[in-house]
Each structure stands twice: as C-alpha cells, then as structure tokens.
Structure 1
Amino acid sequence: MTAPSTETTHVSRTTDIPFILKKAFLSAFVALVLFSLMIGIRTEAGPEGQLIYWTRLGDLASIVGLVFGGSIVIELLRQWIGPAGAEKLVPPVVQRGMSYLGRFLAPALLVFALLVPVIFYNQRYILDLAILVLTYVMLGWGLNVVVGLAGLLDLGYVAFYAVGAYSYALLATNFGWSFWVCLPLAGMLAALWGVMLGFPVLRLRGDYLAIVTLAFGEIIRLVIINWQDLTGGPNGVSDIPRPTLFGIPLDNSDDGLAAKLGIDYSPTHRIVFLFYLILALALLTNWVTIRLRRLPIGRAWEALREDEVACRALGINITTTKLTAFATGALFGGFAGAFFATRQGFISPESFTFQESALVLAIVVLGGMGSQLGVALAALTMIGGFELFRGLETYRMLVFGMAMVLIMIWRPRGLIGHRAPTVYLTKAQAISSDLVKEGHG
C-alpha cells in the first residue's frame, strides 16, 4: 500500500451566479415593497387640510439599486471567503496589536473625557452633546447590570429614569432641598421601585419578562400623566433648581462662584460643571458595577444569566439575585434621572417614553452585554453618530437604522462581546481521591 500524500489539498470555490442573482433580486424586491411608501411617495397636509403627495421615484430606484448591488457583494464575499476562512481574515500579528491597543483604549477615552471642556470650551453644542452622551453611558451601565450581567430582559428601564427625575424635581421644588440631598433620595426611591418590579416577575423569564417590564414602564408614564395634583400631568414640572458647588450657585449674582473667585461670569461655567458632574456619576456607576462583579452577588448574576435552573440546583437564592439586580440597575437609573431634571430645569412625561428604553437597550446590546467599555463606545457611536447624520434630514433614521443592522451582522455579540466569567480557574487542580470513582486525583 502506498503512503498517503502529505501535500495540502486545495478546495476550489465555485461561484453560484444564478443563486446570487436570485437572492439579489429577492432582496431588491423586498426593498422596493418596504421603501415604496417610505421614500417613493411623500405626503403632507395642505394649507386647507387636504392631502398633498408627490413621488420620488429616482430616490426609490437608487435605494433599490444599492440593495441589489450590496446583496451581490455580500454573497460573493460569503462564497469566496466562506466560514472556514473567516478566522484568517485578520492575521495573528494584527490581532495581537489590536489586543495590545485595547488595553489603552479605556484610559485614553477617560483622559479625552476629562479634557473635553478644555478643548471645546467655546463650543456650547459639543459640550451639550458630550453631556448627553455621558448621560446615556450612565444609563447603559445601569441597564447593563440587569440585562448584561443578570440576563433579565428589561424593556421598562425608562420608568426608573422617570422616578429619579420626578423625585428630585418634586423634592427640590416643594421642600427646597438641594441637589446633593435629593440625589441619593432619588436613587433610593428608584431602587425601591426596582424591587417592587422584581417581585411580580420572579417566576418569569424571556419574552414574558420583557412584556411585563414594558407594561411597568407604561404604567409609570400613565401615572405621571394622570396624577396631575402631584406631577403636574402633561404640563410637567418647571423651575427645577440647579445644582450648586458646595452651596455656591453658578450664576451671575454677588454670591455666585464667579464673583467669589473674582473672574468674569460666563454661562459656560455651569455647563462645564454639569459635564464633570455627570462624568463623576458615570465613573461611580462604572466603579460600583466592576466591584460588584467580583463579589458573590456579581458571580450569582452571571450564573443566573447563563442558566437559571443550574443556579437553583447550586443553592443560589434566585429571589435575592433578581431583586438585587433590578434594585442596583434602578438605583443608577434614578441618579441619571435626577441629573436630567437638574440639567433641563423642566421635565414632562414626553421625556420618558418607550423610545428611551429601546435606545438604552440598543446601546447595551450593540456595545456587548456585560462589557463596560463596549457600552460606552456604543453610546458614543449611537448618540454622536445620530448627530452626524442630522444633515441627511429625512434619510437620517434610515441611514442610522441600516448602520445598526450592519453592526449586528458584523458583530452579532456587540462591539466588544464579553461573556467570560469574572472568576475562573487559571490552572488545573487535583481532586481528592474520595471524590472520584478511580480512587486517585
């Protein structure tokens, strides 16, 4: 018998042109059906109330053509590269380099965040946008405790955001309490509502849990709208006090910070103070979350995320684990809500719709559930990227949605997928001979 040949066998990849064209035509047809009413026909109300419409067939044809061509390119890449060659797309040297650079990404982002008010001091728009991004970073890190660590799908996270905002607004306007006194109270009240939500959903999981949390968020919003004696109803709460720096207001009065320091007053001083305030709150959220992950309760959250039945078999108290996850996430949501109220000076039920919950959940999923850095990058990409697309006017949401779809296709586990346990064995350990059938470790 002859010895088997050691030469490497190369498998030729053939291009299935009919299949590619069939799939491209199907994708183009679906795009034609979906975008016919969204792009092909534009309607508006006329001056006398009649319906006015006009067609944009050229734009519709361009979109359908892009879908057709993109489908052909994607299928060609799939057939030429194939799943077997996917691991070879990035050379090992590049992978090691990216891993090395990833260690410095978080410190670099932190240094840049600290220098944003210095670099963009005279650009109010960028400062306001940075404050908005940090607010959603904090909300994402709070929801990451519930969704990313504990694996509990929460579609009503905006309810805790609203509880924190209204708690601060009502306490500050009715009792005259300062921001620093109301901030922990707002967080604790939101955490209390988190526990109240946790009790009804102890036996639910998956889609049923998502539906109940969605209903909880809507209940809170409807209560805010209809309890007009307390919340002001649709009119909201106005004249919410601004935060102070150790009791010193940041205004143009004689007791203001600028007058005490002997410098010219500028409205930017308050914006810079709010920026560093939300940055400190976000870093506090990040630090507490990282510390909790290393504690037994954090490991219980991760175990619950992987397999709830196994958790029960191991003796983990599922009730306590779920309630602490909801309460911790709600606590940080309440902090963010209190900051939102003091920053805006006015709140109303329109600020706490389901769209906010969906946006924060999208940030957590796109960033990578369980990844702190991924959530921060996703918030920067979604909030900042949304502003970059503002010049596209009517096509902004379409382009932004397509970008989100491409990200989920390219990185289905998020920008930085992280599901590794916090605590694991780094090397094998011998087992006592009494615990194995063979009688030796």
Structure 2
Amino acid sequence: MTSAQPPSAPEPSHATPPRGIGDVIRQWWNGLPRVMQWLVGVPAIILIALLPVLNPPLITTTATDFGVVMATFAMTALIAIGLNVVVGQTGLLDLGYVGFYAVGAYVVALLTSPASPLWDTADHGIFSGPWGWLACVPLAIVLTGVTGVILGTPTLRVRGDYLAIVTLGFGEIVRLLADNLSDITNGASGLQGVLYPEIARTAEYPNGVFSTANNAGTLNYGVWWYWLGIVLVIGVLIVVGNLERSRVGRSWVAIREDEDAAEIMGVPTFKYKLWAFVIGAGIGGLSGAVYAGQVQYVDPKAFTVINSMLFLCAVVLGGQGNKLGVIAGAFIIVYLPARVQGVEIGGQSLSEFKYLFFGLALVVLMIFRPQGLFPARARLVTFGRRIYGAVTRAPIAAQSQRQETEA
C-alpha cells in the first residue's frame, strides 16, 4: 500500500512578467542569441537611417524639412545620452547641462569662424579648409571635459537641490559670458561662417553635401547630418555601454541608489561622480560641435535655461538610466513640435504651445509612470531571481525524489 504523497509545492517561476511595452521588447530582445540580435539590429538601424529618404507619409513633417528635423533629433539624442550619464546613471541632478553644450559649440566657432576675434587672418592653419571642423571636434570634447573637471571638483561635494542650483548657475554663467565677452565671442552678434565637413564636393554640391546651401532634393544637408549623427550616437552608445558594464558603471549605480551606503562599502564616490561629470561634459561638447557645424552660426540665444530643461525633459520622459529610452525621449521633444508646426487652432500654431504640452506630459507621467516611458531595469536583479529559482527548485526536486523512493 503506497503512502499518500503530499502535494508538491509549485515550482517558482524565474521569469519576470512583463509590465509594459518596454518590458515586452526588452524581454524579447534579451532572449535572442547574440547573432540574432545583430541580424535584427543592423537592418533596424538601416531602416531608421533611411527614414528621411523614404519620407513615410504618416510620420513625415510637412511644414519643416524631415531631414533637418531628424538631424536635430540625432544631435539632441547625443545630448540626452550625455545627460543620462550624469542624471540617469549617477543620480546627479544637473540643470545646467546646456553650459557644456555651449562650450563645445563655441570652441568650434572660435577656432573656425572668419568672424572670430582670435585670428588676424582668414587662414586658421589646421582649423581651416575641408577638415577644419573635424580637427576641432576632439579639441571640443577635451576642453569641455576640462570644464567638467573645473565645475565638478568644487561642487560635487554638495548634493541634491544644492547641486542642482550650482549647475543651473553654471549654465547661466556660460551664456552670460558668451553674451558679454564681445572681444572674444563677438557677443550677441554671434559667430558666422563656422566650418563644417567640406567633403563630397561636386558640380552639383560645390560646397559639399554638409553645407546649408545643399537644401534641395532628397539628400539635402539635413539627411547627411542625420547620418553623421547616427554614427556618433552608435559610437557613444558603445563607449557608455562598456562603462556601464565595468566597475565604473556599477559604482554609478551604487551612488545613484544610496551614496552614503556606497561610500561605507568602499566606493570612492567623489572620484566616480567626477568621472560621470567629465564623461557627460565630453559628450555635451561633442553635441555642441555637431550643432555649430550643422547651423554654421553660434550665438548665446541657443543656450538658454529653457533648452537645458528640454534636454532634462528628454531624459525624464524616456526613462532615466536607459540609454535607448532617453533617445526615444529626445525624438519626442524634437519631432512632436515639428510635426504639429503649421497646424493652427484659433489662429495660433500648436508648435507655440510645446512647453505647455511637455509640462502636462511630465505631470501625467510622474503620476502614472514616474520611471519614464522606458524605465531602466537592473540586470543584477534579474540574475538574482534566476539564482533564487534554481536554488529553490533543487530542494523541491530532492524531496520529490525521496517521496518516490519511499513509495
């Protein structure tokens, strides 16, 4: 006569149930083998790159050239990735990130513009000619990174609201210096004729494909700047992704979650916060260099506090700590105003109310989804659940085997 077997405990599930579209996509992507990720990702990137050429009727802007809009999106995505390093991954509230953006733009403008007071002749040496803009980009990144060290060394010892006020002041100081140091920055008049990559010169494009004079046809200057922006975004994502998986990235997460606990556990918090500031500043300088070459004109009006808030809005909307999420947030803040431009209600264009729409969107988002549209998920938590599931399944399996033996 066999003894009655007690009902076996249900096997714990180690899979985290998806809670939103971002979780579904992330779970599907993480379940793909490495080769399949490349086979899916590369065609997706190519399709995204061809959007301004294909001009899909449902998403193409009508009042503004779609290629120029996408070029602005790529530049803003660079800014959002850099700001995400500081705000999303390290948890440092930076309200003056536009200051780094301005430094990068002015470095390129001062070195290449014929209106720059730094040069007495039109020949700027290595910073003249077809490759002048490219020669300025590394210098813009380095000098902006040095600016991050200068700002971060005395200020990163404060936290929270105090750090936010200090960085907000830094952004305003940079703008006011650019506006008032007319002997250096040409003041409110700005710097015209900023160089750009003068490549692919032909009879059809005498100034190259990146020139603003190439403003007609399918492959206008906006499309070329968009393609260059995609290349830069991919390169920055690779660098930042490797940092996330390194000791530096783990230290950033520890500081973001609880700085005091991280310091007690031996993490040199000031060192890694300064790392985040410098890396974020360097990416901001790169985006500023792209902006200067794209518009070929730099003046202080482009670096206001409102723009800094929009950059922060992209990070918050997309999802702090999620690199792809902040790119989606950058697309939203650039694309939506351009999409509704020309749509008038009551004699006013809807694009004039973009700050109202973004403010309402942030309020609604903070109420119903405070982590953002695509919140970051800690992979270590996922692995911990899998380990817990494996450990708890082993005693259950051993108990079932003993019961079968006794029976």
Q: TM-score, normalised by structure 1?
A: 0.68
Match of 1:158 among 91, 98, 108: 98
What aligned pairs does 1:81-230 form with structure 2 within 5 A after superposition? Answer: 110-120=45-55, 125-173=65-113, 174=119, 175-176=124-125, 177=127, 178-230=132-184
Alignment CA distance shift 1:142-1:386 (3 Å)? same
C-alpha distance in structure 1 between counterparts of 2:339 and 2:22, whole Å: 30
C-alpha distance in structure 2 between counterparts of 1:367 and 1:229, whole Å: 41
1:342 and 2:293 are equivalent in the alignment: yes
Contact 1:154 1:214 in 2 (8 A): yes
Structure of greater Rg: 1
Contact 1:293 1:422 in 2 (8 A): no
The residue type equivalent to 2:365 in the other structure is I
Contact 1:193 1:330 in 2 (8 A): yes
Match of 1:238 among 184, 192, 206: 192
Alignment CA distance shift 1:401-1:195 (3 Å)? same
Corresponding position of 1:316: 267
C-alpha distance in structure 2 between counterparts of 1:139 and 1:117, whole Å: 21
Alignment CA distance shift 1:420-1:345 (3 Å)? same
Contact 2:22 2:374 in 1 (8 A): no
Alignment CA distance shift 1:307-1:278 (3 Å)? same
C-alpha distance in structure 2 between counterparts of 1:96 and 1:401, whole Å: 25
The residue type equivalent to 2:158 in the other structure is L
C-alpha distance in structure 2 between counterparts of 1:257 and 1:385, whole Å: 27
Corresponding position of 2:232: 281
Alignment CA distance shift 1:179-1:250 (3 Å)? farther
**How far does residue 318 in structure 1 lie from its aligned partner after superposition?**
1.7
Corresponding position of 1:303: 254
C-alpha distance in structure 2 between counterparts of 1:418 and 1:155, whole Å: 21
**How far does residue 411 in structure 1 lie from its aligned partner after superposition?**
1.4
Contact 2:67 2:220 in 1 (8 A): no
Alignment CA distance shift 1:355-1:250 (3 Å)? farther
C-alpha distance in structure 2 between counterparts of 1:316 and 1:268, whole Å: 50
Q: TM-score, normalised by structure 2?
A: 0.73
**How far does residue 409 in structure 1 lie from its aligned partner after superposition?**
2.5
1:402 and 2:337 are equivalent in the alignment: no
C-alpha distance in structure 2 between counterparts of 1:415 and 1:375, whole Å: 9
Alignment CA distance shift 1:226-1:295 (3 Å)? same
**How far does residue 110 in structure 1 lie from its aligned partner after superposition?**
2.4
| Per-residue deviation, residues 167-215 of structure 1 (Å, max 9, x unmatched) | 0111123425111111011011111101111112122111011000000
Contact 1:134 1:278 in 2 (8 A): yes
C-alpha distance in structure 1 between counterparts of 2:271 and 2:302, whole Å: 32
**How far does residue 108 in structure 1 lie from its aligned partner after superposition?**
7.0
The residue type equivalent to 1:215 in the other structure is G
| Per-residue deviation, residues 222-257 of structure 1 (Å, max 9, x unmatched) | 111111111111111101112133xx5477576967
Alignment CA distance shift 1:147-1:135 (3 Å)? same
- The alignment partner of 2:191 has SS state of coil
C-alpha distance in structure 1 between counterparts of 2:106 and 2:165, whole Å: 24
C-alpha distance in structure 2 between counterparts of 1:107 and 1:416, whole Å: 21
Contact 2:83 2:97 in 1 (8 A): yes
C-alpha distance in structure 2 between counterparts of 1:277 and 1:307, whole Å: 38
The residue type equivalent to 1:131 in the other structure is A
- The alignment partner of 1:199 has SS state of helix
Contact 2:108 2:140 in 1 (8 A): yes
Provide structure 1 residue ranges, at least 5 long, that are not aligned to the other structure.
1-89, 259-264, 431-441
Q: Which moved more, 1:343-352 or 1:114-123?
A: 114-123
C-alpha distance in structure 1 between counterparts of 2:292 and 2:372, whole Å: 31
Q: CA RMSD in A?
A: 3.2
Alignment CA distance shift 1:255-1:336 (3 Å)? closer
The residue type equivalent to 1:271 in the other structure is G
1:427 and 2:378 are equivalent in the alignment: no
Contact 1:159 1:221 in 2 (8 A): yes
**How far does residue 301 in structure 1 lie from its aligned partner after superposition?**
0.8
**How far does residue 312 in structure 1 lie from its aligned partner after superposition?**
1.2
C-alpha distance in structure 2 between counterparts of 1:241 and 1:389, whole Å: 32
Corresponding position of 1:326: 277
**How far does residue 356 in structure 1 lie from its aligned partner after superposition?**
1.1
Task: State the identity %.
Answer: 37
**How far does residue 406 in structure 1 lie from its aligned partner after superposition?**
2.4
C-alpha distance in structure 2 between counterparts of 1:345 and 1:362, whole Å: 26
**How far does residue 268 in structure 1 lie from its aligned partner after superposition?**
3.6
Alignment CA distance shift 1:294-1:119 (3 Å)? same
Contact 1:386 1:400 in 2 (8 A): no
Contact 2:314 2:330 in 1 (8 A): yes
Q: Which moved more, 1:376-385 or 1:363-372?
A: 376-385
